Amino acid sequence: MKVVLSVLLLVAEIVAFPAWSGATPLMDWGLHVAKEGNGKPGSTACMECHRLDGGGMPSIGSPRIAGQPSQYIAREIREVKAGKRYGPVMAGVVQNLSLRDIRAVALYYSRAKSPKLPDVGPSDPTLVGEGKHIATRGFWKKNIPACVQCHGPNGYGVPPLFPYIAGQNRTYLLRQLMAYAFLKRQDDPDGLMRGIARRMTMTQRKAVAEYFSSLKPPIRDVP
């Protein structure tokens, strides 16, 4: 019953945030917020951490958001504001964003394109291999399902509900698994990710992060 309710809530959210009409003015404002902030005291430009093209900053674990579904980006910003998504840096940045600001910047970054930025240091082949096994087959001895069951083949996501994680930097991926396991990130339906992350060992978390960071991100042609 809880799963059904969660799906209904997610569907309702999609209806509440349909494909944007009047895209040009909203896109223009989204670019402005990303580049300069919204003009309110304390406002910080999104590009300071995510870059203007949304490629993120692997050196500090700032995530790649270029091409993520606009509904997903908007939802995560709102969850940070509500305290459900653990994000001590983002929490202060997003507090003065209006609903229009959030919609605009989410639309802008959903249509942004960026090459995959090099991660910090080379991949560990052993961890990549272990991570691939968990990502594609799961580790059922500990009730850990395959990551691709929710995040789609090759980690390309299932828009608009599940983000792509292929090509995401390893620091960010590991940080989110740790946040789900220990730091009370609570924006996952029915605590699904929290349960999985807690059952994983530290090596398994690192392995999954290594594997998905070694992949190329999806390329989507968004009108």
For 55-98, what is each residue's pLDDT tens digit? 999 999 999 999 999 999 999 999 999 988 988 889 989 999 99
Of 223 and 30, the one with more pLDDT: 30
Burial environment of residue 50 by CB neighbours within 10 A (0 to 12, 13 to 18, 19 or more): buried
Residues 6+ away with beta carbon under 8 Å from 111 = 27, 67, 222
Is 132 found in the same domain as 102?
no
pLDDT value at residue 222: 52
Cα separation of 116 and 182, whole Å? 29
Q: Which residues pair with 144 in a beta bridge?
A: 139
My answer on whether omega of the bond before 160 falls inside 30° of 0, hence cis, is yes
Residue 19 pLDDT greater than 50, yes or no: no
Give domain status of residue 136, yes or no.
yes
Give domain status of residue 219, yes or no.
no
Q: What is the pTM of this model?
A: 0.86
Is 132 found in the same domain as 106?
no
Least confident of 62-71, 97-106, 146-155, 179-188: 179-188
The residue segments making up the domain with residue 170 are: 125-213
pLDDT value at residue 51: 98
